[in-house]
Amino acid sequence: MANPLYDTLFGQHHGRATDFLQLQDGQTITHATFLAMAAQYANLLTQLGLEPGDRVAVQIQKSPQALAVYAACVQAGIVFLPLNTAYTADEVTYFVENSGARILLCDQRMADALKPVADACNAVLKTLNEDGSGTFHAKAEALPETFETVPRTEDDLAAFLYTSGTTGRSKGAMLTQGNLLSNAQTLVSEWKFTSQDVLLHALPIFHTHGLFVASNITLLAGGQMIFLPKFDLDVVIEQMPRATTMMGVPTFYTRLLGDARFTRELTQHMRLFVSGSAPLLAETHVEFEQRTGHKILERYGMTETNMNTSNPYSGERRAGTVGFPLPGVEIKITDSKTGETLPNGEIGEIEVRGPNVFKGYWQMPEKTAEELRADGFFITGDLGQFDEDGYLHIVGRNKDLIISGGFNIYPKEIELLLDQEDGVLESAVIGVPHPDFGETVVGIIVAKGDSKPDLAAIKSNIGTSLARFKQPKELIILPELPRNTMGKVQKKALRDQFGDLFSS
């Protein structure tokens, strides 16, 4: 095949007048219109002097045009580098510099701030706005609606996705055509996507979840997306009757459950709800089923690996677990220090190998060698264990592990207990420096509605099930947990806030 990713996801739809994107204002974009726009963009990128393998950095709002830039890059063999729209000009400087991107595409509102960044990095600055306007689109509009697809192999790079960089500088994960394609094929088959599917898409498209999982699957299956600029509760509820499937982060589902309009009737026709990017509380899973009759299908993946595991489509979707390794994906649980595989049931580092696993970090051979073993296993930095039936449980990030007085403490074990207490909506357990123990445990609690959790009672209740060294030294109530756009709790922010609780 000449360009495996382009031909399989996009090329198959050439000339098809079938609906691809449904927009909030009722407008529809067909496959043919979308591909014509992508071809114009590919022509413009080439005209601007980009060659296969060059990088295009984009920090733009979600829109059909933004997705077409991705398609254009794949067709022209250019590496697509989407950036979180929340990044500041300083942060963008690092990504453009580090990646050597030759074009920086941004929203008009950011153009003044980013022009010096582009200039300093010898990149060309173009604009593409949420409504499709901008210097990039205007120039492309005059160009041909066809483009000769650049030949690529499965081993060629398709995208750089920078990791969130909570432990040092962000790293550019190099994803190949084969990484993306194999994962899309596996997920279409596992989750039974077809051309009849209409996916409610309210995720951002600068992240693997909304960009690759949601969009690639829909493209491969030939289905449609209700393509919303962001998650807006009213709009999602209004659009749900037109959808058959939805993918979301856990906060989407908790917010839906918090609304009385979200009922069994509203979701009756839905085929599938998928959750990922952050842990879905078992309680949310249960409440969702009670309310709608649907069991959310939870899966686990990451920027570097695409998707690794999934609860089964048919068969038991087990709350609080991320299911089984996907076909073709190997997972082992290892000792963080020795790298030895641990006996089943023990908690250890999750390692992953398969066609989904990235090629390494851009221009960071040492970092790559630290995390990607020579035999192909990637050390994810997540800790987990398999239960007796083979379901994978994630107990947290390795870096969130608390070591108190030399003992390992897994925050999840304590969070699960706190979450069951009266008046507790959710919790986050962190380790903070302690003069005697090195680190000690602090529990942050968010109250349910107007309730006022009795902290002394909670301490004593959980004390009956936890060894003394695991018991939180302090419980703190916050109105909400700090989360990023993908719904991940920002434990580092909590550690920064409460780090000096015990300093002498």
Q: What is the binding site for ligand AMP (CB under 6 A)?
A: 163-164, 208, 276-279, 298, 300-303, 322, 380, 382, 394, 397, 486
Shortest Cβ 156–ligand AMP spacing (Å):
22
166 vs 461, beta carbon nearer ligand AMP: 166
Shortest Cβ 277–ligand AMP spacing (Å):
5
127, 128, 131, 137: CA torsion to nearest 10: 100
Shortest Cβ 175–ligand AMP spacing (Å):
12
81 vs 140, beta carbon nearer ligand AMP: 81
Q: Could you give the CA distance from residue 447 to residue 455 in angstroms, rounded to a whole number?
A: 11
Q: Could you give the CA distance from residue 214 to residue 79 in angstroms, rounded to a whole number?
A: 19
Backbone angles phi, psi at 88, to 5 degrees: -80, 170
Q: For residue 482, what are its two tokens?
A: 């700090």
For strand 402-404 and strand 407-409, is the pairing parallel, antiparallel, or unpaired? antiparallel
Q: For residue 6, what are its two tokens?
A: 């382009």
Residues present in the chain in total: 504
SS3 readout for 119-160: HHCCCEEEECCCCCCCHHHHHHCCCCCCCCCCCCCCCCEEEE
Can you tell me whether residue 294 is helix, strand or coil?
coil
Q: Exposed, middle or buried: residue 483 (CB in 10 Å: 0-12, 13-18, 19+)?
A: middle
Shortest Cβ 207–ligand AMP spacing (Å):
6
Shortest Cβ 208–ligand AMP spacing (Å):
5
Shortest Cβ 373–ligand AMP spacing (Å):
17
Shortest Cβ 80–ligand AMP spacing (Å):
16
273 vs 300, beta carbon nearer ligand AMP: 300
Shortest Cβ 398–ligand AMP spacing (Å):
9
CB 82 within 8 A of CB 92: no
Q: Could you give the CA distance from residue 492 to residue 128 in angstroms, rounded to a whole number?
A: 33
177 vs 306, beta carbon nearer ligand AMP: 306
DSSP string, 92-128: HHHHHHHHT-SEEEE-GGGHHHHHHHHHHTT-EEEE-
223, 226, 231, 233: CA torsion to nearest 10: -120
